[in-house]
Amino acid sequence: QVIGEGWNRPIGRHDPTAHAEIMALRQGGAVLQNYRLLNATLYVTLEPCVMCAGAMVHSRIRRLVYGAADEKTGAAGSLVDILRHPGMNHQVEIVSGVLADECAATLSNFFRLRREQKKALRLAQRAADKPE
Helix then strand then coil, % of the chain, to nearest 5: 45, 15, 45
Specify whether the CB–CB gap between 92 and 118 falls below 8 A. no
Indicate the residue type of 57. Answer: V
Q: Dihedrals φ, ψ of 59, to 5°?
A: -80, -10
Q: Which of 21, 71, 116, 132 is catalytic?
A: 21
Q: Does the active-site annotation cover 102?
A: no
Residue 50 DSSP one-character state: H
Catalytic residues: 21
